[in-house]
């Protein structure tokens, strides 16, 4: 009987001890760990961008004439002077005849008006004369344009827009040709960031079409005139791709650009996710080594340098190789 009681007491003690152990383990907060290392610290600003050509040609007919033939299609490579499309001569001759009739009508109206010229007001005389002059000018323009029935390419490039159709009227821009070698990144820099960027700044470009590839670029220039977008002021900037053979780029592609505005190489640093800031400055958490302490972590303040995108430079307060922790939410 006594032996059974002793065994029961031991079991109870073991259970109580186990409960204490579990509770003490539950009271501990989980964490991830990192180290203070030597690395490069980069600070950048991020902007949206689009690929646009510096050399391009929007092809339009000077006359709203019918298209007789089309010689190129989308994505065709063309040479300067190469025929793109032709206009129908009959429709142009019709425009010449219409322009002649307009001149005849204007001249006749002016002749009739001059019979009572002295009775007209000065502004009426001016309007009549102007109408005749405009009609003659239009006729001369149509004559000059009538010789341009064959539309050719003014540059070497690739056809990226083709809206010319046989039998339709060539009105407005019907083709667009770009020089693919002139493609460059156009970004809009917010007004608050314009003082941070400068010519020659290294840039890192990520295209929407290639999300896993980072392309190196260089900040080239920024417009002096501003652009208003959604009630905010921006300045257009040009960023050149350092090696265009490294990736296939197309007109209109969207991209995200990180422009490097500050960098320090081979400095003591800690991962930014492990660095915090309060009223007293920057600090990290380290494991508390004081025996029987109620606090699992303790703060260690340090003097920061560059606060980069991924790392924070440590000027003093922490040494290379020290472990820092990131407490996890319970």
pLDDT band at 330 (very low <50, low <70, confident <90, very high): low
- Same domain as 37, residue 50: no
Which DSSP helix (H) or strand (E) runs through 51? Answer: strand 37-53
- Same domain as 289, residue 221: no
Domain end point (choices 147, 163, 193): 147
pLDDT band at 27 (very low <50, low <70, confident <90, very high): low
Rounded Cα distance, 91 and 194, in Å: 53
70: in domain? yes
7: in domain? no
- Same domain as 200, residue 275: no
3-class secondary structure, 182: helix
* pLDDT at residue 11 is higher than 50: no
Q: Are strands 56-60 and 83-87 parallel, antiparallel or unpaired?
A: unpaired
pLDDT digit string, tens, across residues 267-303 = 999 999 999 999 999 999 999 888 777 888 999 999 9
Contacts of residue 257, defined as CB under 8 A and 6 or more positions apart, other chains included, come to: 46, 47, 48, 49, 185, 187, 203, 204, 205, 206, 217, 239
User: How many other CB atoms are there within 10 angstroms of residue 83's CB atom?
Assistant: 14
pLDDT band at 16 (very low <50, low <70, confident <90, very high): very low
49: in domain? yes
- Pair 299, 283: CB distance under 8 Å: yes
Give the per-residue pLDDT at 6: 43
290: in domain? yes
125: in domain? yes
234: in domain? yes
Please count the structural domains in the chain.
4
CATH number, position 154: 2.40.50.100
Domain end point (choices 262, 283, 307): 262
Domain ranges, residue 133: 89-147
- Same domain as 64, residue 37: no
């Amino acid at each position: 009987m006594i032996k059974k009681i002793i065994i029961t007491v031991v079991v109870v003690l073991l259970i109580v001890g186990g409960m204490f152990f579990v509770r003490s383990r539950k009271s501990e907060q989980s964490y991830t760990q990192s180290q203070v290392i030597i690395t490069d610290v980069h600070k950048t600003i991020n902007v949206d961008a689009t690929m646009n050509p510096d050399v391009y040609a929007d092809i339009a007919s000077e006359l709203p004439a019918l298209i007789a033939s089309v010689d190129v299609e989308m994505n065709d490579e063309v040479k300067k002077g190469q025929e793109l499309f032709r206009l129908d001569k009959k429709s142009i001759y019709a425009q010449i005849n219409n322009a002649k009739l307009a001149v005849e009508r204007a001249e006749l109206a002016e002749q009739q008006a001059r019979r009572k010229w002295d009775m007209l007001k000065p502004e009426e005389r001016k309007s009549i004369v102007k109408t005749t002059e405009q009609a003659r000018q239009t006729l001369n323009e149509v004559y000059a344009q009538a010789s341009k029935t064959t539309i050719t390419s003014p540059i070497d490039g690739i056809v990226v827009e083709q809206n010319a159709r046989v039998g339709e009227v060539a009105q407005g821009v019907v083709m667009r040709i770009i020089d693919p070698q002139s493609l460059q990144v156009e970004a809009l820099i917010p007004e608050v960031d314009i003082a941070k960027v400068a010519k020659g700044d290294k840039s890192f470009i990520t295209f929407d079409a290639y999300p896993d590839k980072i392309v190196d670029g260089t900040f080239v220039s920024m417009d002096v005139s501003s652009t208003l977008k959604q009630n905010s002021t921006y300045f257009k900037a040009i960023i050149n791709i350092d090696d265009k053979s490294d990736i296939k780029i197309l007109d209109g592609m969207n991209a995200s650009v990180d422009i490097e505005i500050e960098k320090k190489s081979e400095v003591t640093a800690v991962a930014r996710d492990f660095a915090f800031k309060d009223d007293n400055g920057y600090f990290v958490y380290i494991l508390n080594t004081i025996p029987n302490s109620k606090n699992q972590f303790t703060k260690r303040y340090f003097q920061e340098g560059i606060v980069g995108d991924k790392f924070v430079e440590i000027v003093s307060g922490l040494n290379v190789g020290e472990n820092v922790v990131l407490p996890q939410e319970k």
